Amino acid sequence: MVTTLCAIALLGQTSYAPTGAQIQVTMGNNKSFVITCDPKASPKTVARVTELVRAKFYDGIRFHRVEDWVSQWGDPTSRKSLDGAGSGGSGKALPFEGSKVSFLRGVVGVASTGAGVGGDSQLFIIKKDSARLDGKYAVVGKVTQGMNVVDAIVRGDTIKTMRVLARTRR
Per domain, the residue ranges of the chain are 18-165
Closest CA to 128 of 68, 72, 65: 68
pLDDT of residue 11: 40
pLDDT of residue 169: 53
How many of the other CB atoms lie within 10 Å of CB of 23? Answer: 25
Is the pLDDT at 142 greater than 60? The verdict is yes
pLDDT of residue 14: 56
pLDDT (average), residues 106-133: 92
Give the chain as a DSSP string. -HHHHHHHHHHHHHT----S-EEEEEETTS-EEEEEE-TTT-HHHHHHHHHHHHTTTTTT-B--EE-SSEEEE--GGGGT-STTTTS---S-PPPP---S----TTEEEE--SSTT----S-EEEESS--GGGTTTS-EEEEEEE-HHHHHT--TTPBEEEEEEEPPPP-
- For residue 114, the one-letter residue type is G
What's the chain's average pLDDT?
A: 89
pLDDT of residue 8: 37
Is the pLDDT at 7 greater than 60? The verdict is no
CATH topology of domain 18-165: Cyclophilin (2.40.100)
pLDDT of residue 4: 35
Is the pLDDT at 31 greater than 60? The verdict is yes
Among the ranges 10-24, 42-56, 109-123, 155-169, which has the highest mean pLDDT value?
A: 42-56
